[in-house]
Amino acid sequence: MASLTDSPMLGELNLTLGHLYPEQLNIYGDRGNIVTFQQRCRWRGIALHIVALDLGDALDPAAYDLLFIGGGQDKEQDEVARDLREQKAEPLRAGVEEGLPVLAVCGGYQLFAHFYRPAEGPELLGAGIFDAWTIHRGKAVARCVGNVALNWETSTLIGFENHGGRTYLGPKGRPLGRVLAGHGNNSEDGDEGCVYHNAYGTYLHGSLLPKNPHFADHILQLALNRRYGPAAPRLSPLDDSLEWQAHGAMLRRLGIVSEKGVVHAVGG
Ligand code: GLN
């Protein structure tokens, strides 16, 4: 099942993950992404150190090899937005400009863009990492809820979404992928998520990574490259047959792949 990475000269490999606002932003299984990073490291003999970054904590981007922020309700986002503005937005932007890998899910993704205008209450200024903004259409308008699938690079990503906010990308906002099934950023333009340098924003909960092992490894490899530079080992392959079975089952359920594995052209 597991195999060690093939760079013994580096001795034990270490990575440090900063988990932003684990108490406030953690819904629809988001913590499962942390567990996935942890397990996929453990299977390769990589020690993953997880540091909680709570309200009031200072953030030194140089101390982390990757960051994760989950989703949450408007109320929690209000609290977090204040702390982001006062404490963390500036070092976060500096870290991302230097290539710090980031995974930001739903409410966290919204707060890493320019602003989030919630259903009620004042507009929440974001960290300004993603060239995007989000507007909640109000409680009378149906939320974007359900299973999602999108094209990502030469593969697919699957997950679950539940958001009232609709996100729009600016000229520098590069989508993570194109929607094959589900709502994505705004149910209008067929885009999902946003990518800026090594920062990835997405609406995919579920949690996202257990059923998308290729994406988990993509981000882990970026973290290894950041930590070890040119000497960084390539992540050794794992037996992800269970993960791909779950992935395939969702693609079939969404009618994107037939029982015989034939891909149906769906969506954008
Ligand atoms: N509160 C935000 C919205 O409704 C984000 C929700 C979430 O993180 N799932 O759009």
**Joined tokens for residue 187:** 């149910």
Distance 47 CA to ligand 1 centre (A): 32
Distance 164 CA to ligand 1 centre (A): 6
Sign of the alpha-carbon dihedral angle for 25, 249, 213, 176: negative
State if residue 164 touches ligand 1 by the CB under 6 angstroms criterion: yes
- What is the per-residue pLDDT across 45-69, written as a single tens digit (0 to 9) for each? 999 999 999 999 999 999 999 999 9
pLDDT of residue 10: 53
State if residue 165 touches ligand 1 by the CB under 6 angstroms criterion: yes
Residue with tokens 């779950």: 246
Task: Write down the pTM of the prediction.
Answer: 0.94
Q: Which of 64, 58, 197 is nearest to 130 (CA)?
A: 197
pLDDT of residue 258: 76
Extract the residue ranges of the chain whose pLDDT is less than 70: 1-11, 260-268
Question: Which residues have C-beta within 8 Å of that of residue 50, sequence separation ≥ 6?
Answer: 16, 17, 19, 34, 38
State if residue 206 touches ligand 1 by the CB under 6 angstroms criterion: no
State if residue 73 touches ligand 1 by the CB under 6 angstroms criterion: yes
Q: Which atom of ligand 1 is nearest to the CA of 143?
A: 4
Q: Which atom of ligand 1 is nearest to the CA of 74?
A: 1
Active site residue 106: yes
Distance 205 CA to ligand 1 centre (A): 11
Distance CA 55, CA 40 (A): 28
pLDDT of residue 213: 98
State if residue 106 touches ligand 1 by the CB under 6 angstroms criterion: yes
CA distances 126 to 78, 89, 239, Å, are 10, 8, 39
State if residue 163 touches ligand 1 by the CB under 6 angstroms criterion: yes
* Single-letter amino acid code for the residue at 122: P
Distance 53 CA to ligand 1 centre (A): 20
Active-site choice (19, 41, 106, 114)? 106
Distance 131 CA to ligand 1 centre (A): 18
Q: Give strand pairing partners of 134.
A: 116, 167
Q: Which atom of ligand 1 is nearest to the CA of 134?
A: 10
pLDDT of residue 53: 98
Q: Which atom of ligand 1 is nearest to the CA of 162?
A: 9
State if residue 71 touches ligand 1 by the CB under 6 angstroms criterion: yes
How many CB atoms lie under 10 A from the CB of residue 145? 13
- What is the per-residue pLDDT across 59-96, written as a single tens digit (0 to 9) for each? 999 999 999 999 999 999 999 999 999 999 999 999 99
Q: HSE-up of 9 (CA within 13 Å, CB side)?
A: 4
